[in-house]
Structure 1
Amino acid sequence: MDLAYIPSPSTGVINLGPVPLRAYAFCIIIGVFVAVWYGNKRWIARGGKAGTVADIAVWAVPFGLVGGRLYHVITDYQLYFSEGEDWVDAFKIWEGGLGIWGAIALGAVGAWIGCRRRGIPLPAYADAIAPGIAFAQAIGRWGNWFNQELYGKPTDLPWGLKITASANREAGIYHPTFLYESLWCIGVALLVIWADRRFKLGHGRAFALYVAAYCTGRAWIEYMRVDEAHHVLGLRLNVWTAIVVFVLAVTYIVISSRVRPGREEVVEPAAAGDKPAGNAGDAGDAGDAEDEASESDAVADAPVEATDAGEPAGEPVDERVDEPGDRPRTSDDEPAGNGAGKS
């Protein structure tokens, strides 16, 4: 008899009248909120403007959801298109089934569109949002707990996950791979935050570190799972995907560090209606000071003309007052002033 285990919820749905509230969806939504909130803090700290991360997320999140679902349906097509299955279930995203590989890939396309519209580089945005994505994954994995899915092999460990019997699963105590991955993602987020502060990562390297670190954990966690999956050369497809993506991420970090060392400065182009930094009074004072400085420079740079009397340039001009009876001065006698007074 098992003395300790992690219980599973009896249901992942709360019916609010005719409206079903699904825990899986709430975990995804909370994760997205955390990713945008924390990404915004990092973006501002790197010199960006508040709200930019959310504006780009409007593009990235829908693309990511579509990409995640497409990857799941394509790699597990037998669940929807084999004999006896209903292909309509492929659209029931609330029942679970999002592949992180497709979510990141197509989400990056949406982020690229949003960044292009704002005139900012995608790598800088990716670096800012990277730890937030890892935190979002950590939260989203709890949706699998509510759905009693994606668990590992049987275990007698005290933190084993109790799964109840259903049409497609046997009751028992299994490795809580959802929990393992959730904790791993938190560790990945903390690693990226630390490394970014310590080494001033930039040009997409913080995002690449997140990808490489996540793939490392996903490979061994994936190996523990017992849900149905396609195998290539004895390994689950997602294990191969993790290996390939890990190599690409590490390669990018190495090459990028040599080509573009250091962190780039985040500079957002001014959008229509943007106000200059500071309050109106500061802006007016700064403008007045700039005008005065320009006038002073003009006076200082203006050449000093010599007089007809043969006085060398740069010496004081005769400023005597005309005495009564003197002939009026003409323009041939002396200049009316220096060049700064001419229009």
Structure 2
Amino acid sequence: MRPGAIPSPGFSTFSLGPLTIHMYGIVILLGVIVAVVIAHRRYRDRGGDPNLVLDAAIVAVPAGIIGGRIYHVVTSYENYIGPGRHLGDALKIWNGGLGIWGAVALGALGAYLVVRRKARFGPFADALAPGLACAQAIGRLGNWFNQELFGAPTELAWGLRVDPAHLPAGYAPGTLFHPTFLYELLWNLALAAVLIGLERRRRLASGQVWWLYVAGYCLGRVWIEALRIDTANHILGLRLNMWTCLIIFALAAVAASRAGRANHPARIGADERAGEQREQGQTAQN
């Protein structure tokens, strides 16, 4: 093995009694926990009721998983529909395949439906953004365990070594590939740090951290997507996910600018906090 080359794990599952545990699921769960813990603290520091984070997570997490799987299946339909394909495989989430945009969109919608009745969604989304970036970073380890979604061959010292069973057709054993899982992991961690740094150095309005997170993720995903060699649908020569990122980046940049002009406060005021607590008290009585 070339010195510095990144080895792939020799397993993606392990047994626990009669159960088969998939590492993909483990890292997704770990990412969710990290996101909730970070959002819980950040929302509390903004003056919000941190219990609202847990209430929203109960709805947002399953909604995000469903949305991510739907996006993946729709944009990679040829893997599930057609000769020799089985539509039932679309339910096998443990084999990998969560489209981030479906996960973020449906997960955010689920959180919004919970939060909107009790508090402003902008400060809540801002509190969530860095934790969500960290969760995505952790989630990319699932691709490493599954030996999937890596990039083109590379001569770089940190190339990824893939087991022969996972080699794409036409590549010789020992070929090293761009570890795109690692690139995205590092990009997302850096994005989380940048967002927190911007908050500390600049007076950002409600919603701006969230939209900067969306734009920042898109910016990184475009160049990472360009490295990948897994099968994907193309439009005008570009992978579908690249078009998605470019479009969402433009929309997020406009939304961040508009949020700045609106200049709604990023913190929860005392009157809002009292109303939030009254709403939760009434819900508990019901």
Q: Same fold by TM (over 0.5)?
A: yes
Q: Aligned match of 1:272 in 278, 281, 284?
A: 281
Check whether the contact 2:95–2:146 (CA below 8 A) recurs between aligned residues. yes
Amino acid across the alignment from 1:239: M
- Say whether residues 1:80 and 2:80 are aligned partners: yes
* Residue matched to 1:174: 177
Distance 2:92 2:205 in 1: 38
Distance in 2 (CA, whole Å) between partners of 1:176 and 1:167 is: 14
Aligned to 2:233, which of 223, 230, 234?
230
Amino acid at match of 1:18: P
1:10 and 1:4 map into 2 onto residues whose CA distance is 18
Structure 1 moving runs of 4+ over 6 Å? none
What per-residue deviation string (whole Å, max 9, x for no partner) do you get for residues 11-40 of structure 1? Answer: 100012220111110100000000000101
Farther off after superposition, 6-15 or 158-167: 158-167
SS at 1:208 equivalent: helix
Residues of 1 paired with 2:166 and 2:218: CA distance?
A: 32
- 2:3 is the counterpart of 1:3: yes
Residues 168-192 of structure 1: CA distance to partner in whole angstroms, max 9, x if unpaired?
7354210000000000000110111
User: Partner of 1:14: helix, strand, or coil?
Assistant: strand
SS for the counterpart of 2:79 is: helix
- 1:154 corresponds to which residue? 153
Alignment of 1:1-343 (within 5 A): 2-117=2-117, 119-166=118-165, 169=168, 170=171, 171=173, 172-260=175-263, 262-266=265-269, 267-268=272-273, 269-270=276-277, 271-272=280-281
CA shift for structure 1 position 50: 2.9
Asked if 2 retains the 8 angstrom alpha-carbon contact of 1:14 and 1:20, the reply is: yes
Letter in 2 for 1:204: G
**As a proportion of its length, which structure holds more helix?**
2
Once residues 211 and 32 of structure 1 are traced to their aligned partners in structure 2, the CA distance between those partners, rounded to angstroms, is 18
Distance 2:251 2:116 in 1: 24
Asked if 2 retains the 8 angstrom alpha-carbon contact of 1:5 and 1:162, the reply is: yes
CA distance in 1, matches of 2:164, 2:192: 35
Structure showing greater relative contact order (alpha-carbon pairs closer than 8 Å, 6 or more residues apart): 2
DSSP-derived class of the 2:116 partner: helix
Q: Distance in 2 between matches of 1:168 and 1:5?
A: 16
Q: Tell me how far 1:57 sits from its aligned partner.
A: 0.8
User: Mean Cα displacement is larger for which, 197-206 or 217-226?
Assistant: 197-206
Query: In 1, Cα distance between the equivalents of 2:216 and 2:47?
Result: 26
What SS does the corresponding residue of 1:156 show, helix, strand or coil?
Answer: coil
- Identity percentage of aligned residues: 47
Bigger radius of gyration: 1
Distance 1:273 1:112, change over 3 A: closer
Q: Give the structure 2 partner of residue 309 of structure 1.
A: none
Residue 203 of structure 1, CA deviation: 2.0
Instruction: Mark the runs of 5 or more structure 1 residues left unpaired by the alignment.
Output: 275-343
CA displacement, residues 195-248 of structure 1 (integer Å, 9 cap, x when unaligned): 122223232110000011110000000000000001111111111111100001
Deviations 1:274-306 (A, max 9, x none): 9xxxxxxxxxxxxxxxxxxxxxxxxxxxxxxxx
Retained in 1: the 8 A contact 2:207–2:266?
no
Asked whether the 8 Å contact 2:205–2:259 carries over to 1, the reply is no
- Cα separation, partners in 2 of 1:43 and 1:167, compared to 1, 3 Å: closer
Distance 1:164 1:251, change over 3 A: same
1: distance between equivalents of 2:236 and 2:226?
Answer: 13
On the 8 A contact 1:2/1:156 being kept in 2, the answer is no
Residue type of the alignment partner of 1:223 = A
SS of residue matched to 1:21: strand
Check conservation: 1:127, 1:202, Cα contact below 8 A.
no
User: What is the rounded CA distance, in whole Å, between the counterparts of 2:50 and 2:214 in structure 1?
Assistant: 25
RMSD value over aligned CA atoms?
Answer: 1.7
Residue-by-residue CA offset, 1:61-108 (whole Å, 9 max, x unaligned): 111000000000000001111210111110000110001000011111
Using the TM superposition, give the Cα deviation of residue 109 of structure 1 relative to its aligned residue in structure 2, in angstroms: 1.1
The alpha-carbon deviation at position 260 of structure 1 amounts to: 2.2
Distance 1:50 1:216 in 2: 30
Q: Secondary structure at the match of 1:83?
A: coil
